[in-house]
Amino acid sequence: MKKEYCGLFGIYNHSEAARMAYFGLYAQQHRGQESAGIVTWDGSKIREQKGMGLVPDVFNERHLGKELKGNVAVGHIRYSTTGASLIRNAQPFLVRFGGMHMALAHNGNLINTLELRQELEAQGSIFQTTNDSELFMHLIARYMNGGNLEEAVAKACAKVKGAYSMLLLANNKLIAIKDPHGFRPLSLGRVGDSYVLASETCAFDLLEAEYMRSIEPGEMLVIEDKCVESHSIGEPRPKRQCIFELIYFARPDSRVFGETVYDCRKCMGKVLAREAEVSGDFVMPFPDSGVFAAVGFAHESGLPFEAAMIRNHYVGRTFIQPSQDMRDFSTRVKINPVKSMIRDKKLLIVDDSIVRGTTIRSRVKKLRELGAREIHMRVSCPPIRFPCFYGIDFSSKGELIAAYNDVDEIARFIGLDSLHYLTIEGLRNSVSNPDDFCMACFTGEYPMKPEGWAGKMCLEDEVAVSW
């Protein structure tokens, strides 16, 4: 099962559209570090620049200042969890059909791709990638047939199942679409006379754009000239916004789904403090993900907050391996405890989630070696027990420690004196409209299940290696 993290950015009617897109992606770099791309439209020609690597690796001044002409731009950043990290799969996805060029940038994951592919291949379609975007483009092309673009897009949306927030650039239009459940975030803003769209509002802040609103589930927004038209695609369905964006994935200074991430995380920490009271010398986060829940926990519990584990800011991606006898090296190289803070202390650690538990286990072991007297952990989300089919990668279900272990077993595995997770109820209390969120990773109640899913994955094995 292919999974992708992605970030989107679009801008309409700006004299430096490519440059704005560059910064809009740059601010969202945490959403995908593997490839980046920008496509621009100048009223008659479409241009693209895509590449592997971080945003500053892919674009240079020549691209932004000279080559990527036009006042409409769509950008995309991507991190793939499959091996298929080829330039071939970088987005936006650019095609030509019906005499025009179109570019599509997509965040999310479709769940009926195999079935749709087979149907299209039977009709003579050829595929060059494993991107959902390519599939989507094939559908639009089939449905369009000389007709109306918006209608063709709506028909294609009706055909696919799954999570998709998308930006589509076609001739003079910039179209933003969110699937009927609204799994992945996408917001609209404004700067000067330009409209901007982004997965997270931290992109707006960097560009000094003003936040307007979140795109609605099932909404298709068509921007053309000075006009923004809102259409509805297909039947309305219950909102199922990804709660994990709030718990972990989005930047704390962003708004997603209309919520401020920072506030939600702090609130989760506060609720957690009430749910699982504990004494201790101080509250400390595992950096950086646990910081905001730990702040909330400290406020609520009255315990002092300490930043007792220090992050190495220079840890990059390519890395020389240590010699054999350095145990837990990869843990140690990223964060290092302040020894004097740990010895003989009763530690209360707050983290935002536990996926496999192995990294946390090795950190806890290190704290024991440094003389911690007791180690208690509080986690600001419920146990993650089910895989996500809509774009968040917790690896396959077999690796989720909470899938087959109860809380006591997990505490024992990690080496904790006590462990408490935030309850589903507590989590619901930490957001404004709890019914609007997908919590399938905690509950297993999927809004829709992927084709042929029975606990094992099929498509990935077949295509991952070859492309």
Site for its own copies in 307-336 (CB under 8 A): 307-308, 310, 312-314, 316, 318-323, 326, 329, 332-333, 336
Task: Tell me how far the alpha carbon of residue 254 is from its chain's centroid.
Answer: 13
- 23 vs 413, which CB is nearer to its own copies? 23
Which pair of structure tokens corresponds to residue 348? Answer: 């209360």
- Out of 121, 229, 277, 409, which residue is the one contacting its own copies (CB under 8 A)? 121
- 226 vs 340, which CB is nearer to its own copies? 340
458 binds its own copies (CB under 8 A): no
**CB-count burial class (<10 Å; 0-12, 13-18, 19+) for 150:** middle
Q: Of 349-378, which residues contact its own copies (CB under 8 A)?
A: none
What are the DSSP E strand ranges found in 380-454? 418-421, 437-438
Q: Which residues contact residue 358 at a Cβ distance below 8 angstroms, ignoring those fewer than 6 apart?
A: none
Q: How far is the CB of 325 from its own copies (least distance, A)?
A: 9
291 binds its own copies (CB under 8 A): yes
- 64 vs 364, which CB is nearer to its own copies? 64
Q: How far is the CB of 174 from its own copies (least distance, A)?
A: 17
Q: Of 178-237, which residues contact its own copies (CB under 8 A)?
A: 202, 205-208
Q: How far is the CB of 227 from its own copies (least distance, A)?
A: 25
- Partnered with residue 190 across adjacent β-strands are 195, 210
How far apart are the C-alpha atoms of 319 and 274, rounded to whole Å?
Answer: 42
- Tell me which residue of 142, 179, 132, 138 sits closest to 158, measured CA to CA: 179
Catalytic residue among 6, 157, 381, 438: 6
425 binds its own copies (CB under 8 A): no
Query: How many residues appear in the chain?
Result: 467
DSSP string, 9-32: EEEES-TTHHHHHHHHHHTTGGG-
Contact indicator for 112, 162 with CB cutoff of 8 Å: yes
Q: Known catalytic residue: 438?
A: no
- Out of 126, 226, 406, 455, which residue is the one contacting its own copies (CB under 8 A)? 126
DSSP string, 350-367: EES--SS-HHHHHHHHHH
Residue 401: Cβ within 10 Å count: 20
Map tokens 């595992």 to a residue: 286
Q: Which long-range contacts (CB under 8 A, 24 or more apart) does 401-409 make?
A: 401/354, 401/355, 401/356, 401/357, 402/354, 407/383
137 binds its own copies (CB under 8 A): yes
Q: How many Å from the N-terminal Cα to the C-terminal Cα in the chain? A: 14
Judged by CB under 8 A, the stretch of 96-104, 213-221, 432-440, 448-456 that binds its own copies is: 96-104
- 350 vs 388, which CB is nearer to its own copies? 350
Which pair of structure tokens corresponds to residue 244? Answer: 């994990």
- 47 vs 173, which CB is nearer to its own copies? 47
Please state at what angle helix 149-159 crosses helix 132-144, rounded to 10 degrees. Answer: 130
- Out of 158, 407, 457, 463, which residue is the one contacting its own copies (CB under 8 A)? 463
- Out of 43, 236, 238, 304, which residue is the one contacting its own copies (CB under 8 A)? 304
160 binds its own copies (CB under 8 A): no
Q: How far is the CB of 263 from its own copies (least distance, A)?
A: 6
Q: Residue 399 carries which DSSP code?
A: G
Map tokens 């910081």 to a residue: 291
Which pair of structure tokens corresponds to residue 237? Answer: 């369905």
- Out of 160, 215, 295, 438, which residue is the one contacting its own copies (CB under 8 A)? 295
260 binds its own copies (CB under 8 A): yes
Q: Of 22-51, which residues contact its own copies (CB under 8 A)?
A: 22-23, 26-27, 29-30, 33, 45-48
- Out of 34, 281, 306, 436, which residue is the one contacting its own copies (CB under 8 A)? 306
- 156 vs 221, which CB is nearer to its own copies? 156
- Tell me which residue of 274, 253, 157 sits closest to 200, measured CA to CA: 253
Residues in contact with its own copies, total (CB under 8 A)?
91
Map tokens 């003079």 to a residue: 172
- 112 vs 260, which CB is nearer to its own copies? 260
97 binds its own copies (CB under 8 A): yes
Q: Of 51-90, which residues contact its own copies (CB under 8 A)?
A: 54-56, 59-61, 64, 87
Phi, psi of 341 (to 5 degrees): -80, -20
Q: Residue 305 carries which DSSP code?
A: B
- Out of 6, 94, 242, 377, which residue is the one contacting its own copies (CB under 8 A)? 94
Binding pattern for the stretch 263-282 against its own copies, x by CB under 8 A and - elsewhere: x-------------------
- 27 vs 177, which CB is nearer to its own copies? 27
Contact indicator for 282, 348 with CB cutoff of 8 Å: yes
| Ranges of H-type helices in 175-328 | 202-207, 243-244, 261-275, 291-301
- 115 vs 408, which CB is nearer to its own copies? 115
- Out of 181, 251, 345, 363, which residue is the one contacting its own copies (CB under 8 A)? 251
The catalytic site residues sit at 6
